[in-house]
Structure 1
């Protein structure tokens, strides 16, 4: 049995991560309020009281041997104490296939209307946002589309199928392509506006996406158990494998770094696991990694992509509103896109649906929690309410 000398919010969240439970499921299994779990997320250093520590000890004791081993390895890594493990001795870098999904959001405002008019209608996603799709040509992506939203945002979506010798190789590829993709997306958006709207008024710099978010579907691989968990963690936060001091020349940190991560069962303390017995996934600030199983109950990657498209659109919209305020101006939005619109989008994203499976709910909660999108939506909503009552 693993002994935790002092439970803090960080250890409690680590236990939740290896149990792959949502906030509500974890609270239910412990018999506590979901608010307590949320408080741990806000204050990870808070020390649990003796009664709560006893509850956590019991929950850890009821975990499967695999979950306990994962907790032991990740706890040691969290404390900087490498712990060799017989069950993880064979875990090491290995070749794998991944389907990369890159999301590049751009706020266009009123300039998006003509693009929206010529796009192909498509059903709304989880956020209930009206959108249309344009196909564009990308030099290497298997699929490249622009999702134009009625709220004035365009999200470029690139799907690429890649075979890598290691996770470090993927990390280098990821960061080296980010700058190129941003420039390409900006030029493509400018071309679309000129083609369909005859619009030459926007400066090119205003069309360059501010960031790129990635989601990976892990396919052919040789990992299992704890090593699979470690691989998904590294897919979600590949920055720990590379040196990014020179953004134009991202390079591996050095030989043995990835081996050490597997040996120690590395995990990011703020990443949130999701899934169930038939699939595994991890959501983090910079992306999502998912490994579906061949089972009809498993989530599909298309469900993850649909949520991320709406999430990135709302992130870009709320960022525009908040940046306007930071610049000393009051945000001015059409009445149809005022604070009530943001309130509606917030509730659609955060409220469970009767037809939603448990896996889909856990995935949704993990992505929203790590993106902090709900907080941004609330802040933007309040800003619009103050300036446009």
Structure 2
């Protein structure tokens, strides 16, 4: 171990001058080598990031003799975070199932305490990987809310973890609900994720792109390769390309505010990063919004599945088409004291989820059946 009494602070040495040019060249070379890219491939990644054409010859010169421009060094560092650079993300998974109104009531739905306009009842649940609660709705929906704190070096690793853990989450929720209700036919139907990015490793335009990718990680993972050994490497390559080139699918909706927060919603999920926590949405607001929307989504899925099977839809008592019409109004229309940010979030999540179409179909089917 070094003797701390013999350590010399270089700032006290007036004759010490760091070789910044060599440091910059080495940083560029190490960045390219860590990515396993040729000079031409690295130039292709740098070009859209710096906004002017970068050539393979230029990269080679910067690594050997010339001093690389500052924007090139920053761009190279951005696409290759150091081994200690890990993003802090809190994953919120909403695991939904329809268990029936009778089963939900037996488990506590409708009893005090209740939460929100949907009269949601919450009971504690134990999960091996994070904090978990079971939310019960009186019309027969059960939603597990699983919170997992993660540190990831790449978005690709988050995407791979997400899809591999989904199968485990669905199996776990199905087993638990069957044990609680005694009904062997209950099956958890889907998992929806929302990510709260509290510690990013990106900045500027790249941070915005990163939040977009996190909200739609399917773009990194080929469904047919989810279980292969090469899936992570393939996903990391796709991530590097998208971070460099940008990622802005038309179906994705933004709900951030410049200088306050970055937020995006897609069919796959939601991602949010508070730039200014004092002015941004709170994590609880995001969770509450998702719980309301996913509760109705799961109920409409159950009703519309009956229609698709050629049956007359059977709604839970007291939760027929009039209830769905009221729910649609509450979800689609802004509240008098709702903030602009909250309204934008609700609109973005509501429209990318496809819930409005689900609601309209369920309302129409139940009205036709009641006539």
- Corresponding residue number in structure 2 for 1:75: none
Counterparts of 2:203 and 2:111, CA distance in 1: 42
Q: 1:84 aligns with which of 33, 48, 72?
A: 48
- Corresponding residue number in structure 1 for 2:88: 97
Secondary structure of 2:148's counterpart equals strand
Q: Is the 8 A contact 1:272 1:284 kept in 2?
A: yes
Counterparts of 2:80 and 2:332, CA distance in 1: 37
Once the two structures are TM-superposed, the CA of residue 294 in structure 1 deviates from its matched residue by 3.5
Q: How big is each residue's C-alpha offset from its partner over 1:53-98, in whole Å with a ceiling of 9 and x where there is no partner?
A: xxxxxxxxxxxxxxxxxxxxxxxxxxxx996131683542542010
Counterparts of 1:284 and 1:368, CA distance in 2: 10
Closer, same or farther in 2 for the Cα pair 1:327/1:83, shift >3 Å?
A: farther
Counterparts of 1:270 and 1:144, CA distance in 2: 31
Secondary structure of 2:127's counterpart equals coil
Counterparts of 2:144 and 2:80, CA distance in 1: 31
Counterpart check, 1:356 vs 2:306: no
Secondary structure of 1:151's counterpart equals coil
Higher RCO, 1 or 2 (CA under 8 Å, sep at least 6)?
1
Q: 1:381 aligns with which of 335, 352, 363?
A: 363
Q: Which runs of 5+ in 1 are unaligned?
A: 1-80, 194-199
> Rg bigger for which structure?
2
- Corresponding residue number in structure 1 for 2:312: 330
Q: How big is each residue's C-alpha offset from its partner over 1:352-385, in whole Å with a ceiling of 9 and x where there is no partner?
A: 1111111011111111110111111011001100
- Corresponding residue number in structure 2 for 1:135: 124
Q: Is the 8 A contact 1:119 1:133 kept in 2?
A: no
Q: Is the 8 A contact 2:154 2:236 kept in 1?
A: no
Secondary structure of 1:242's counterpart equals coil
- Corresponding residue number in structure 2 for 1:259: 240
Secondary structure of 2:200's counterpart equals coil
Closer, same or farther in 2 for the Cα pair 1:305/1:327, shift >3 Å?
A: same
- Corresponding residue number in structure 2 for 1:271: 252
Q: How big is each residue's C-alpha offset from its partner over 1:308-351, in whole Å with a ceiling of 9 and x where there is no partner?
A: 11111111111111110111110122441110000000000011
Q: How big is each residue's C-alpha offset from its partner over 1:24-49, in whole Å with a ceiling of 9 and x where there is no partner?
A: xxxxxxxxxxxxxxxxxxxxxxxxxx
Once the two structures are TM-superposed, the CA of residue 117 in structure 1 deviates from its matched residue by 4.8
- Corresponding residue number in structure 2 for 1:310: 292
Counterpart check, 1:216 vs 2:195: yes
Counterparts of 1:121 and 1:326, CA distance in 2: 36
Q: How many residues align?
A: 296
- Corresponding residue number in structure 2 for 1:339: 321
Q: Is the 8 A contact 2:79 2:240 kept in 1?
A: yes
Counterparts of 2:236 and 2:362, CA distance in 1: 45
Counterparts of 2:93 and 2:257, CA distance in 1: 25
- Corresponding residue number in structure 2 for 1:230: 209
Q: Is the 8 A contact 2:139 2:317 kept in 1?
A: no
Q: Which runs of 5+ in 2 are unaligned?
A: 1-44, 52-70
Q: Is the 8 A contact 1:285 1:370 kept in 2?
A: yes
Counterparts of 1:236 and 1:93, CA distance in 2: 21
Q: Is the 8 A contact 1:116 1:149 kept in 2?
A: no
Q: 2:170 aligns with which of 157, 174, 182?
A: 182
- Corresponding residue number in structure 2 for 1:11: none
Counterparts of 1:239 and 1:294, CA distance in 2: 28
Q: 1:114 aligns with which of 101, 106, 114?
A: 106
TM-score, with structure 2 as normaliser? 0.75
What's the C-alpha RMSD, in Å, of the aligned pairs?
2.1
Equivalent runs, 1:148-227 vs 2, <5 Å? 148-193=136-181, 200=182, 202-203=183-184, 206-227=185-206
Counterpart check, 1:371 vs 2:359: no
Secondary structure of 2:97's counterpart equals strand
